Structure 1
Amino acid sequence: MKRTILCVSLLALSLTACKNETKSDKETTSEEKSEQVEKENTENLPLAFQSESQYEIARLYLDLKTKFVEEDAYGARKIAEIMLKKFSDEEMKSIAQKIIHQENNIENQRKAFFQLSEMLEPTFAKNISGGKLYKQYCPMALDGKGAFWFSAEEKIMNPYFGDKMLHCGEVQETLK
């Protein structure tokens, strides 16, 4: 009998404690959960940027990276020609021209690609509005000096070595 009374009392006490939770506590918890879900949903969206031109530049950059992975100097040149028309910044135009004029030397094109990666990093970091970009790094690139690049996939596909060392590198950062 004492056990029954004790159990009923504990049950009543626990129900009372649950009802004492304030409405604002529930709202805060809901808001926090909503923000977390919204952030997760943004990360799972397709790649997007604040403006259409930023998105176009990012897509061209990713296509250029793929051409270097495939060791396709001519394809890299063609993409750089399109980039040249899209860029408004003179320094970026100059880098695109280096890629165009070095079609016969993919290693020089890759050096220009690294310069382009450095130039675009702030744009990518500040203006991504959906999806993810992975900043990846290879310590052996550019004669052992190391170099990074951006990828839409987490899997390492090294644009600085192509088939020679396709998976050499690591993810340094995820931009979301």
Structure 2
Amino acid sequence: MKALLIAVLSIAGISLASADCGSCGAGQKADVAANDADGKCASGCCDLLKAYEGVATALAHDDFEGAKKAAHKVAHFGECDGNEKLTALAMKVEKAPDIAAAREAFKAVSAAVIPLTENAGEHYVMTCPMAKADWIQTTKDVANPYFGSSMLKCGSVKRTVAAK
């Protein structure tokens, strides 16, 4: 009986540990760019774009704490997908000592996320000539995460990624 109880609790613990990954269960890789026939994300981890945009929006609005919380979500998507590089890059934003360091670290996060979201629905790759960096938005209205309120509208649409 004791062995059965231990086995049940072990299985429950594994289930709870993987439940935090949404549809990306333990050991299961999710294609964050995969779409189903309707053009909707086939994976719960396709919410990477939303989590990423949370970081960009927070930085654009000078919300350091919000950026760190959103970066934690991006790091989690990296864990779900087995993408250690994305996890490490997002954690640099999350652990940044100040907003300037978070913005600098966000450049590398953007460079990593842009190719992962090519099939994640319509969005825009924006560019900032001053920061010499790109980022993603789901609207065309520039909200620069690299300079925030000091240069919120600095940048332009580099390219449109069409829904596929």
With the length of structure 1 as denominator, give the TM-score of the two structures.
Answer: 0.64
Structure 1 residue corresponding to 2:134, chosen from 148, 154, 158? 148
Matched residues in 1 for 2:151 and 2:83: separation? 33
* 1:137 aligned to which of 120, 127, 130: 127
The answer to whether the aligner puts 1:73 opposite 2:67 as a matched pair is no
**Structure (1 or 2) with the greater helix fraction:** 1
1:85 and 1:158 map into 2 onto residues whose CA distance is 24
* SS of the residue 1:79 aligns to: helix
Aligned to 1:101: 95
Q: Which whole-Å CA distance do the structure 1 matches of 2:88 and 2:160 have between them? A: 28
CA distance in structure 2 between the aligned counterparts of 1:139 and 1:67, rounded to whole angstroms: 20
| In structure 2, C-alpha distance between the alignment counterparts of 1:65 and 1:137, rounded to whole Å | 13
Deviations along 1:101-154, whole A, 9 cap, x unmatched?
A: 11x3211111221111111121111x22x4x2111111001xxxx111000000
Structure 1 position 50, deviation (Å)? 4.3
CA deviation digits over 1:73-97, x for unaligned, max 9?
Answer: 1111111222222212111111121
- Distance, in Å, in 1 between the alignment partners of 2:100 and 2:40 is 30
**In structure 1, what is the Cα distance between the partners aligned to 2:42 and 2:106?**
23
1:63 aligns with 2:49: no
Larger radius of gyration: 1
Q: Which runs of 4+ in 1 moved over 6 A?
A: none
Gap change, CA 1:98 and 1:172, over 3 Å in 2? same
Quick one: distance in 1 between partners of 2:101 and 2:42?
32
Q: Which residue of 2 aligns with 1:51?
A: 43
Identical positions, percent: 30
**Structure 1 residues 52, 158: CA separation in 2 closer, same or farther (over 3 Å shift)?**
same
Deviations 1:3-52 (A, max 9, x none): xxxxxxxxxxxxxxxxxxxxxxxxxxxxxxxxxxxxxxxxxx9x943432
Query: Which residue of 2 is the match for residue 122 of structure 1?
Result: 115
**TM-score using structure 2 length:** 0.69
Report SS of the residue matched to 1:154.
coil
Q: How many residues are aligned here?
A: 122
Please tell me the residue identity of whatever aligns with 2:85: E
- Structure 1 unpaired stretches of 5+: 1-44
Shift of the alpha carbon at 1:60?
0.3
The match for 2:9 is none
Deviation, 1:67, is 0.4
Counterpart check, 1:84 vs 2:75: yes
Query: 1:69, 1:48 → 2: CA distance?
Result: 27
Instruction: Determine the structure 1 residue equivalent to 2:155.
Output: 169
